[in-house]
C-alpha cells in the first residue's frame, strides 16, 4: 500500500481508518487506549489494512483487542467476504485450523482439591501428551478411521467411548462442520495426524484446572448451574500437524490461484482464491475436515482429563460429574448470513484468533442456551485469569457475531525466554498457588504472563462495547502446557 491509513478513535473503544489506496472498506480495531498503545508496536495494523483490499470484503476489516501480528491476516482479525464475488484465504484461518477452547464443569469445589493439586498435575501431565511431537494418547488410527474423523468430527470420539452425546449439543456446530471431504486432504496430512488425536501439541496450548472466583451475571450462572468456588477445567488446542499440513498444502494451491485469477495482493501471505472457484471449494472441504479433527481431539482430551481427575482424587465419574459447558473454535472460515446495509447477505466469515459470539435467539446457539446467548470462552495466560462471556446482539451489528479469543501476545517466544532467563517462572507461579507442568523450562518461560496482554483489559473492551458480556471469571490452580 502506498498510502498510509490513519486510525482515529470514533468511540472510547473503537479506532477506525478510512479506506486509502486499494482499501475497499474501512479498517476497525476494538481497543482501549492502553491496549491501543501496545497494538501499535508490531505490523498487525498494516496487516489489517491489507485485508481491507481483498476482493468481495464487506463492512470493515475488523480486529479484536487481542490483535497481534500473524501470517497474512493479523491474529484477532475478522473479515467477511460475499460468496458471489469474494475470496477465501488460508491466512485468514491460520495454520492451526480450529484451534479452540473447551470448558468442562465439575461437581467439585476448591476444597476438594486441597492437598491434591500436585498429584492431579502429575497425573494430568502423564495422561495428556504434550509437546511438538506429542503422540500416543490413543491408538494410531488407520487411514479409514481418520477419514471417518474428518467426516464425523467429535461424534467419532463419543462413539469410541470418549464422552457422551450430550457433549455434542454443547459444541459449536455440534462438533462437526458439514461438507468435509476426505479426498481433498493429502497423504502427508493423514500421516501426520494418525497418532495425534488426544494430544495438546506445543506453543500456547494447554490443559488447565480452574476455580470460578467471580460471577458477574448471577441469573445466567444459576441457569447454567455455576457458582463461585466450583472447579472447572479448560482445554486449548487445535488440529495439530493434521491441520498444519492442510494449511501448508493449500497455501501452495492458492499461490497458483492468485496468478490464475489475476488477483492483486499487497502481501503474498494473503494468497486466496475466489469462493466460486474449485481451489476455494477444495480448501473449504479440507479445512472443514481439519476442523472436525480438532473437535474430535478436544473431545478425547476432555475425557482423558476426567479419567485423570478420578485417578488423582480417588473418585467416581458420578462424583466428578464432568459435563461440557461449551466448545468454541477461533481459527475458522464459515459460510453465514449477516445483515449488510439492511439486506441479508451470504458471506464467508474468516475468524482468525477470534471467537463466535452469537446472541440469544440465534438457531446456531444450543437450545438450552438460546435464551441467554452463546457462551464465549476467553482464556488468559497461565498466571492470570480466564473468562466466560455471553454473546450479545451488538456483536451481530458490529463484528459479524464475533468476539476476542484470548489475551494476545506482546512478546515473541524468543523475547519471553530472554526476559525469563534469570528467573524461575515455575517457582513464581507456585508461590501464587498455581502448579504448572511443561515439557521443558523453555516451554514454560515462553508462556510467561508478561508475554501477553492482560486478558482482563481485553475482555473489558468487548464487555463495554456490548459484543459479549462477562458471565464469570476463572482462576487457575493447575496448568499443563503444550
Catalytic residues: 405
Q: How far is CA 361 from CA 35, 165, 264, 366, 390, in A?
A: 32, 23, 40, 10, 12
Query: Side-chain half-sphere of 393: how many Cα atoms within 13 Å?
Result: 3
Asked if residues 104 and 308 have their Cβ atoms less than 8 Å apart, the reply is no
* CA–CA dist 174, 171 (Å, integer): 5
Residue whose entry in the numeric block shows the C-alpha cell 466460486: 276
Q: How far is CA 331 from CA 48, 83, 134, in A?
A: 16, 19, 21
Phi, psi of 385 (to 5 degrees): -100, 170
Phi, psi of 409 (to 5 degrees): -75, 150
List of residues 6+ apart from 287 with CB closer than 8 A: 90, 93, 97, 246, 250, 332, 333
Q: How far is CA 28 from CA 15, 45, 165, 404, in A?
A: 6, 9, 40, 14
The cell numbers describing 148, all together, are: 471417518
List of residues 6+ apart from 457 with CB closer than 8 A: 32, 34, 35, 65
Amino acid at each position: 500500500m502506498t498510502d498510509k491509513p490513519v486510525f482515529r478513535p470514533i468511540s472510547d473503544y473503537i479506532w477506525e481508518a478510512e479506506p486509502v489506496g486499494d482499501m475497499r472498506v474501512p479498517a476497525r480495531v476494538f481497543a482501549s487506549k492502553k491496549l491501543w498503545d501496545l497494538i501499535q508496536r508490531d505490523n498487525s495494523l498494516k496487516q489489517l489494512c491489507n485485508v481491507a483490499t481483498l476482493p468481495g470484503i464487506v463492512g470493515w476489516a475488523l480486529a479484536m483487542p487481542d490483535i497481534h501480528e500473524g501470517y497474512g491476516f493479523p491474529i484477532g482479525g475478522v473479515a467477511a467476504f460475499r460468496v458471489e464475488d469474494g475470496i477465501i484465504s488460508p491466512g485468514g484461518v491460520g495454520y492451526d485450523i480450529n484451534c479452540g477452547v473447551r470448558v468442562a464443569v465439575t461437581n467439585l469445589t476448591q476444597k476438594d482439591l486441597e492437598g491434591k493439586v500436585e498429584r492431579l498435575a502429575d497425573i494430568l501431565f502423564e495422561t495428556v501428551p504434550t509437546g511438538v511431537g506429542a503422540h500416543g494418547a490413543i491408538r494410531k488410527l488407520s487411514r479409514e478411521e481418520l477419514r471417518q474423523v474428518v467426516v464425523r468430527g467429535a461424534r467419532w470420539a463419543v462413539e469410541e467411548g470418549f464422552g457422551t452425546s450430550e457433549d455434542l449439543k454443547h459444541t459449536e456446530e455440534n462438533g462437526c462442520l458439514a461438507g468435509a471431504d476426505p479426498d481433498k486432504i493429502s497423504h502427508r496430512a493423514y500421516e501426520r495426524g494418525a497418532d495425534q488425536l488426544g494430544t495438546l501439541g506445543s506453543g500456547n496450548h494447554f490443559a488447565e484446572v480452574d476455580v470460578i472466583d467471580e460471577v458477574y451475571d448471577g441469573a445466567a450462572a444459576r441457569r447454567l448451574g455455576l457458582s463461585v468456588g466450583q472447579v472447572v477445567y479448560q482445554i486449548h488446542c487445535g488440529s495439530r500437524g493434521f491441520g498444519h499440513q492442510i494449511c501448508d498444502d493449500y497455501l501452495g494451491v492458492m499461490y497458483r490461484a492468485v496468478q490464475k485469477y489475476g488477483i492483486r495482493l499487497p502481501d503474498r501471505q494473503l494468497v486466496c482464491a475466489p469462493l466460486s472457484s474449485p481451489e476455494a471449494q477444495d480448501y473449504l472441504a479440507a479445512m472443514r475436515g481439519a476442523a472436525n479433527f480438532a473437535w474430535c481431539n478436544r473431545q478425547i482430551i476432555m475425557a482423558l482429563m476426567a479419567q485423570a481427575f478420578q485417578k488423582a482424587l480417588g473418585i467416581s465419574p458420578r462424583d466428578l460429574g464432568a459435563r461440557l459447558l461449551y466448545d468454541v473454535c477461533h481459527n475458522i472460515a464459515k459460510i453465514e448470513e449477516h445483515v449488510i446495509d439492511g439486506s441479508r447477505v451470504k458471506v464467508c466469515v474468516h475468524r482468525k484468533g477470534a471467537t463466535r459470539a452469537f446472541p440469544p435467539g440465534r438457531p446456531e446457539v444450543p437450545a438450552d442456551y438460546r435464551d441467554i446467548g452463546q457462551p464465549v470462552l476467553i482464556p488468559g495466560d497461565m498466571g492470570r485469569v480466564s473468562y466466560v462471556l455471553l454473546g450479545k446482539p451488538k456483536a451481530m451489528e458490529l463484528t459479524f457475531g464475533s468476539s476476542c479469543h484470548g489475551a494476545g501476545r506482546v512478546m515473541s517466544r524468543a523475547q519471553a525466554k530472554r526476559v525469563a532467563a534469570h528467573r524461575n517462572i515455575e517457582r513464581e507461579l507456585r508461590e501464587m498457588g498455581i502448579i504448572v507442568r511443561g515439557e521443558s523450562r523453555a516451554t514454560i518461560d515462553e508462556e510467561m504472563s508478561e508475554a501477553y496482554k492482560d486478558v482482563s483489559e481485553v475482555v473489558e473492551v468487548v464487555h463495554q462495547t456490548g459484543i459479549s458480556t462477562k458471565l464469570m471469571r476463572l482462576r487457575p490452580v493447575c496448568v499443563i502446557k503444550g
